[in-house]
Amino acid sequence: MQQQPNVSFAHFLEKFPEIDLPLTLTSESSHAFSRTNDPLHSLMIEQFILPYQKEELDEFTEFIPCFKIPKTFDIHAIVYWKASLLNYQYILATYNKKGQLIDKGVIAGTYSDGASLISSVATIEEDWIIYIISGKAEKDERDYDATSSKAFNLELLATGEIVTSD
């Protein structure tokens, strides 16, 4: 069997256009990214995303490049959308200059376990604070109770770590 060639980390990063902050990620945002951004080549996914996935993926799992956070200097911070059955996530991933993962985390998305629907929206500010609101609806979206929503913050540090912020 012939070995697949490696893709350069620089070529992988080219799939993520740099954007202006602040930016809000909603369930509808993924449609705009999939229309305007070129898809990730399977070799890019195999080299720079799959080695860091903890859960098993099926043949229907899809990855869409969203954007690169500007002015990160010694790190690269990208957001991609991962879609699998009943689970849609915006993932913030940070890499060092050599293309090695520093940290990653889900910052927004929608998940269903069949009985309830959990949805999160995130706003990334210019200072790299990420404001997240998460809510849960039972059975269908009409059963949403706003009082059950939770808000929390994450922060992207200059080192590439993603931490809970106060």
Sequential DSSP letters for the chain? -PPPPPPPHHHHHTTS-B-PSPEEE-TTHHHHHHHHSPPPPHHHHHHHTGGG--S---TT-EEEEEEE-S--TTSEEEEEEEEETTEEEEEEEEE-TTS-EEEEEEEEEEEE-SSEEEEEEEEE-TTSEEEEEEEEEESSGGG--GGG-EEEEEEE-TTS-EEEE-
CB count in 10 Å sphere of residue 76 = 21
Q: Please provide the average confidence, as pLDDT, over all residues in the chain.
A: 89
- Asked if 132 contacts 151 with a C-beta cutoff of 8 angstroms, the reply is yes
Measure the CA–CA gap between 58 and 85, rounded to whole angstroms.
Answer: 9
Measure the CA–CA gap between 149 and 137, rounded to whole angstroms.
Answer: 10
- Asked if 113 contacts 92 with a C-beta cutoff of 8 angstroms, the reply is no
- What global pTM score does this model have? 0.89
Share of the chain above pLDDT 70, in %: 91
| Arithmetic mean of pLDDT, 23-49 | 92
Q: Where are the domains of the chain?
A: 9-165
User: Which range, of 52-61, 99-108, 136-145, averages the lowest pLDDT?
Assistant: 136-145
| Arithmetic mean of pLDDT, 19-36 | 92
Structure tokens given for 89 = 């996530």
| Arithmetic mean of pLDDT, 110-127 | 89
- Asked if 131 contacts 139 with a C-beta cutoff of 8 angstroms, the reply is no
pLDDT given at position 166: 65
Token match 């879609």: residue? 83
pLDDT given at position 127: 95
Q: 44-90 pLDDT, tens per residue?
A: 999 999 999 887 777 888 999 999 999 999 999 999 999 988 889 99
| Arithmetic mean of pLDDT, 123-136 | 94
pLDDT given at position 85: 83
pLDDT given at position 19: 95
**Beta bridge partner(s), residue 25:** 122
